[in-house]
């Protein structure tokens, strides 16, 4: 379908609109330029019906007024709080470790708000995957873009680093309007979901590489002038990490940011994103980390963690607290998570 617009009666307007959205839903399955799993007839098997249903709901939600979208996301978040006790328990541990100065009631209030924002960000994936450039720009404000542009104009390479905030994909879409980007993603076990995630992250021109490709493609893209976009705050295992403070807690931290900065000479700029009560995303690009890289991998990891912590403390509900950030512990320490 070449044109989603139509003219004529109201009835004439409805049918092309439905065809348009069906095409947008199926489009990632036909886009051969995406480096993602090819379409397979097995994607129509019952095991993928849940994925199709979720994608359909998310796609249709983009047609709703913004207040309705936020209300839908709010209900999803509240449902998550009631039915996913495993993740809720993980989040409670994380919040207790990171905010011991809060009362238990304050942490529970923060957890509930976090899950509301989580649900709203999930529904907004439809906008990341299918909304127009202009619609995304109306929802997002970016602060600090001028310094990013000045650095690029002077010939500097740039690596943006962001913690796992809820609006991480919307942030990538917003930043793609400033400069061509390059990033890495974890390959989902669900290949159908992989296709949609890939399209959402690459459709505005970003180069997306998978982890199993290693750092070389990303380093090459940064050297060629693309702005790197990386989410390094993951507890993968102790073998590939160093322990650096995060909220005052020794945390298994990937030293990859310092490594890429040394390989490319890139300026490292921390990024944070906040989804507010009105459904707007506020993306903030911080100043380049001073004296980075230092040559000390532990000091560099600590500098990145400190920058992330500063952003998170401004709006703690925006961080993805449902992951096991402190699973890997120094020798002799037990994991704080049950099971």
Mean pLDDT on 136-147: 97
Helices 191-202 & 49-61 angle (0-180, nearest 10): 30
Give the C-alpha distances (Å, rounded to integers) separating 148 from 196, 270, 300, 304: 29, 11, 21, 18
Residue 40 lies in a domain: no
Q: Assess whether 68 and 97 both reside in one domain.
A: yes
| pLDDT band (50, 70, 90) for residue 76 | very high
Q: Find the angle CA(14)-CA(15)-CA(16) to the nearest 5 degrees.
A: 95
What pLDDT, on a 0 to 100 scale, did the predictor assign at position 238?
A: 67
Q: Please count the structural domains in the chain.
A: 2
Q: Assess whether 58 and 97 both reside in one domain.
A: yes
Residue 334 lies in a domain: no
Rounded Cα–Cα distance for residues 218 and 317 (Å): 30
| Contact criterion met (CB below 8 Å) for 78 and 115 | yes
| pLDDT band (50, 70, 90) for residue 9 | very low
Structure tokens at 125: 């994936």
| pLDDT band (50, 70, 90) for residue 8 | very low
Rounded Cα–Cα distance for residues 44 and 52 (Å): 9
What pLDDT, on a 0 to 100 scale, did the predictor assign at position 43?
A: 82
Rounded Cα–Cα distance for residues 293 and 265 (Å): 9
Structure tokens at 112: 């509930």
Residue 231 lies in a domain: yes
Q: Assess whether 175 and 264 both reside in one domain.
A: yes
Q: Assess whether 174 and 150 both reside in one domain.
A: yes
If one compares 3 and 230, the residue with the highest pLDDT of the two is 230
Rounded Cα–Cα distance for residues 300 and 197 (Å): 30
| pLDDT band (50, 70, 90) for residue 198 | confident
As a whole-number percent, the residues of the chain with pLDDT over 90 amount to 70
Q: Assess whether 200 and 313 both reside in one domain.
A: yes
In three-state secondary structure terms, 79 is helix
Write down the mean pLDDT value for the chain: 88
Helices 216-223 & 256-264 angle (0-180, nearest 10): 40
Is residue 137's pLDDT more than 50?
yes
């Amino acid at each position: 379908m070449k044109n989603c617009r139509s003219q004529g009666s109201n009835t004439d307007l409805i049918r092309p609109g439905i065809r348009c959205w069906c095409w947008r839903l199926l489009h990632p399955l036909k886009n051969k330029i995406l480096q993602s799993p090819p379409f397979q007839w097995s994607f129509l098997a019952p095991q993928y019906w849940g994925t199709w249903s979720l994608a359909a709901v998310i796609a249709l939600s983009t047609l709703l007024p913004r207040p309705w979208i936020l209300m839908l996301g709010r209900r999803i978040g509240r449902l998550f709080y009631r039915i996913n006790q495993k993740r809720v328990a993980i989040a409670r541990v994380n919040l207790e470790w990171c905010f011991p100065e809060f009362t238990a009631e304050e942490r529970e209030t923060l957890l509930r708000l976090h899950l509301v924002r989580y649900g709203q960000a999930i529904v907004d994936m439809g906008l990341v995957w299918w909304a127009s450039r202009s619609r995304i720009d109306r929802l997002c404000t970016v602060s600090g873009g001028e310094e990013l542009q000045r650095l690029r104009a002077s010939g500097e390479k740039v690596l943006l680093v962001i913690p796992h905030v809820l609006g991480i994909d919307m942030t990538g879409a917003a930043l793609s309007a400033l400069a061509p980007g390059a990033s890495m993603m974890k390959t989902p076990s669900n290949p159908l979901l992989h296709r949609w995630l890939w399209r959402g992250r690459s459709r505005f021109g970003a180069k997306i590489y998978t982890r199993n490709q290693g750092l070389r493609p990303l380093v090459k893209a940064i050297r060629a002038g693309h702005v790197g976009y990386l989410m390094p705050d993951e507890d993968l295992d102790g073998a590939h990490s160093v322990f650096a403070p995060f909220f005052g807690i020794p945390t298994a931290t990937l030293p990859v940011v310092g490594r890429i900065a040394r390989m490319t000479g890139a300026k490292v700029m921390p990024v944070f994103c906040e989804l507010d009560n009105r459904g707007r995303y506020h993306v903030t690009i911080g100043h380049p980390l001073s004296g980075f890289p230092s040559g000390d991998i532990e000091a560099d990891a600590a500098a990145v963690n400190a920058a992330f912590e500063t952003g998170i403390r401004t709006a703690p509900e925006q961080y993805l607290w449902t992951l096991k950030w402190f699973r890997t512990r120094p020798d002799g320490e037990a994991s704080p998570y049950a099971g």
